[in-house]
């Protein structure tokens, strides 16, 4: 049976990674369509319906979302709540109307703030999320609720994946909006090449926001893309599945900063500015469910993935979102 796969948010970080993976190993039984905000306003039901009528998907990977880093979330919780709820409701309604399998993308940041670790798929709704991003978190949690409701009432096969922090080529490097890795890459590039050009590299200082102590799991976008494609083709449960690196792969923000500095061959000094909020200290996720189903999967080495991301940014600086 041939498939028509519609990828919303297809021009973003994860969408571009899926496109790259698919282009390397295209299935003759699948037609892939990658769309972005220019193709439809997913907060508008009429615009969304026109998109679905045009492409008539049998499968949908729903990546489109209003997203941002810690400080962007803190000041815009209402926008994150409303816009994401509108998008998700429209997309899942249309998946139901077209009888399409839907795979939506959540995030480990939606889990409860006060919780035992590691977190797993059963704990999404077991307490309030961190105050810094409650708008985004509750909108994303509602996808899981909506998936179950469509399944229970209509038998629709809607599921969701829960990745840890994603990074890689085609990320959003815009200051004030970006997540931690692209934000650091952009700032260090400016420090090295654009600010105080008369200074020697070993005299320059790279300020890292916060104490550097928080712990995070990071997944390279190409690895996540491969796993999402597997979910689309082979995972047939309404229950969400965490797509994360192993618990042992967790790194501190300080270790992250050091890896980025090494990739840039930065010779200056790193300092930690504790006047900035750290956000949640940790949100360690268990990938036991994934490991049981895909024990053979190998994640890209963290430092190697950081190097590939920095290399992409330097090569594509003029075209990168920043």
- Residue 269 and residue 258: Cα distance in Å, rounded? 10
Q: Examine the pLDDT at 69 and tell me if it is beyond 70.
A: no
Answer yes or no: are the C-beta atoms of 23 and 180 closer than 8 Å: no
For CA atoms 289, 151, 80, 187, give the dihedral sign. Answer: positive
Q: Examine the pLDDT at 76 and tell me if it is beyond 90.
A: no
> Domains in the chain, ordered, with CATH?
3-168+217-249+284-301 (3.40.50.720)
Which residues does the annotation mark as catalytic? 136
The answer to whether the peptide bond before residue 118 is cis (omega within 30 degrees of 0) is: yes
Say what the alpha-carbon torsion angle 93, 81, 139, 43 is, to the nearest 10 degrees. 20
Q: What is the structure's pLDDT at 176? A: 77
Q: Tell me the per-residue pLDDT of 200-238, one tens digit each, with 9 for 90 and over.
A: 888 999 999 999 999 999 999 999 999 999 999 999 999
Q: Tell me the per-residue pLDDT of 265-307, one tens digit each, with 9 for 90 and over.
A: 999 999 999 999 887 788 899 999 999 999 999 999 999 999 9
Q: What is the structure's pLDDT at 321? A: 87
Per the prediction, the chain carries an average pLDDT of 94
Q: Tell me the per-residue pLDDT of 113-128, one tens digit each, with 9 for 90 and over.
A: 888 999 999 999 999 9
Rg of the chain over Cα atoms, rounded to whole angstroms, equals: 20
Q: What is the structure's pLDDT at 70? A: 62
Q: Examine the pLDDT at 167 and tell me if it is beyond 80.
A: yes
Q: What is the structure's pLDDT at 201? A: 86
Whole-structure pTM value = 0.93
Characterize the bridge pairing of strands 205-209 and 165-167.
unpaired
Q: Examine the pLDDT at 87 and tell me if it is beyond 90.
A: yes
pLDDT, mean of residues 142-168: 97
In sequence order, which residues have a C-beta less than 8 Å from that of residue 218 and are 6 or more positions away?
164, 165, 166, 167, 181, 245, 249, 251, 256, 302, 305
């Amino acid at each position: 049976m041939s498939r028509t796969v519609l990828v919303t948010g297809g021009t973003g970080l994860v969408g571009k990674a899926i496109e790259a993976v698919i282009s390397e190993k295209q299935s003759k039984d699948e037609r892939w369509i990658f769309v972005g905000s220019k193709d439809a306003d997913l907060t508008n039901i009429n615009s969304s319906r026109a998109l679905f009528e045009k492409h008539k998907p049998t499968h949908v990977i729903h990546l489109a979302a209003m997203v941002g880093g810690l400080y962007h979330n803190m000041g815009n919780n209402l926008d994150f709540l409303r816009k994401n709820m509108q998008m998700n409701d429209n997309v899942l309604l249309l998946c139901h109307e077209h009888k399409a399998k839907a795979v939506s993308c959540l995030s480990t940041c939606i889990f409860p703030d006060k919780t035992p670790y590691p977190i797993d798929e059963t704990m999404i709704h077991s307490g309030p999320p961190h105050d810094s991003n409650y708008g985004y978190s509750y909108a994303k949690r509602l996808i899981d609720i909506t998936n179950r409701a469509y399944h229970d009432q209509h038998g629709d096969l809607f599921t969701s994946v829960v990745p840890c922090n994603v990074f890689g080529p085609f990320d959003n490097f815009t200051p004030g909006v970006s997540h931690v890795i692209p934000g650091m890459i952009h700032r260090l590039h400016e420090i090295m090449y654009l600010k105080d050009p008369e200074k020697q590299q070993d005299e320059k200082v790279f300020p890292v926001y916060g104490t550097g102590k928080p712990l995070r799991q990071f997944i390279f976008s190409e690895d996540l893309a491969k796993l999402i494609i597997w979910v689309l083709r082979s995972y047939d449960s309404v229950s969400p599945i965490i797509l994360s690196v192993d618990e042992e792969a967790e790194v501190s923000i300080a270790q992250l900063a050091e890896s980025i500095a090494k990739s840039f061959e930065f010779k200056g000094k790193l300092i930690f500015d504790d006047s900035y909020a750290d956000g949640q200290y940790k949100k360690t996720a268990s990938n036991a469910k994934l490991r049981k189903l895909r024990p053979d999967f190998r994640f890209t080495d963290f430092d190697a993935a950081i190097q590939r991301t920095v290399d992409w940014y330097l090569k594509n600086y003029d075209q990168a979102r920043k």
